Chain A
Amino acid sequence: GQNIDQPTEMTATEGAIVQINCTYQTSGFNGLFWYQQHAGEAPTFLSYNVLDGLEEKGRFSSFLSRSKGYSYLLLKELQMKDSASYLCAAMDSNYQLIWGAGTKLIIKP
């Protein structure tokens, strides 16, 4: 079956770095997405990886290893506004997104 695993909740300190991991199993693979979702709001796009390696975008970076079925989202210089849920989603061979349950990130001062 198709499955996405990511931690339920993580806590980090303002100004620090946090890495949110995601493992996936899908029928075929057409890329890995990360979305940020604040409570009560729709998700917003953060990153898309389809090739192995690290993609850096400001304070956020995303890594993909297709052979390991693994990705992570790295957040640097954490700010209080980064407190949100982070959703990992893998796109299968039919271009459908398989969603993880999300990781709730709590930032403490």
Chain B
Amino acid sequence: GAVVSQHPSWVICKSGTSVKIECRSLDFQATTMFWYRQFPKQSLMLMATSNEGSKATYEQGVEKDKFLINHASLTLSTLTVTSAHPEDSSFYICSARGQGVTEAFFGQGTRLTVV
């Protein structure tokens, strides 16, 4: 299957700082990327969907000014958690899908801990 690389795998940051998470499709062009958040023992919660070259579509309840998503190229999308707080601590996972393909491939996930 296709490979999606997410970086970093884990990060610890201080409250009030910003953290950037990268999601790269290594062997295909990702026209659509999805960003999820998953709290312990819960299912995936879609935060936003981004299409290359256009603004991301955020799910209800997700602050777009806090979770900045950039999908500037067909192989890279970034999620920036701005002014992070301890309640933002979670597992963030990206997935990417190519043009005309139904299956999305997941990155390895990023464990964010805000202290």
Contacts and interface: CB of A to CB of B under 8 A. Distances in A.
Interface of A: 30-31, 33, 35, 40-45, 48, 50, 87, 91, 95-97, 99-102
B67 interface: no
A68 B102 CA distance: 22
Contacts of B46: 96-97, 99
User: 6 nearest interchain CB pairs?
Assistant: A42-B109, A101-B43, A42-B106, A42-B93, A99-B44, A99-B43
27 contacts: A31-B102, A40-B91, A41-B108, A41-B109, A42-B93, A42-B107, A42-B108, A42-B109, A43-B44, A44-B106, A45-B1, A45-B105, A48-B102, A48-B103, A50-B102, A87-B43, A87-B44, A91-B102, A95-B102, A96-B46, A96-B49, A97-B46, A99-B43, A99-B44, A100-B43, A101-B42, A102-B43
Contacts of B111: 40
Contacts of B6: 42
Contacts of A97: 34, 46, 104
Interface in B1-33: 1, 6
Contacts of A95: 102
A75 B34 CA distance: 28
Give the size category of B's interface with A: 10 to 19
Contacts of A30: 102
Nearest to B102: A31
Given A99-B43, A101-B43, A45 B109 contact: no
A66 B43 CA distance: 23
Given A45-B103, A87-B44, 13 more contacts: A40-B91, A42-B106, A42-B107, A42-B108, A43-B44, A48-B102, A87-B43, A95-B102, A96-B49, A97-B46, A97-B104, A99-B43, A100-B43
A99 B42 CA distance: 11
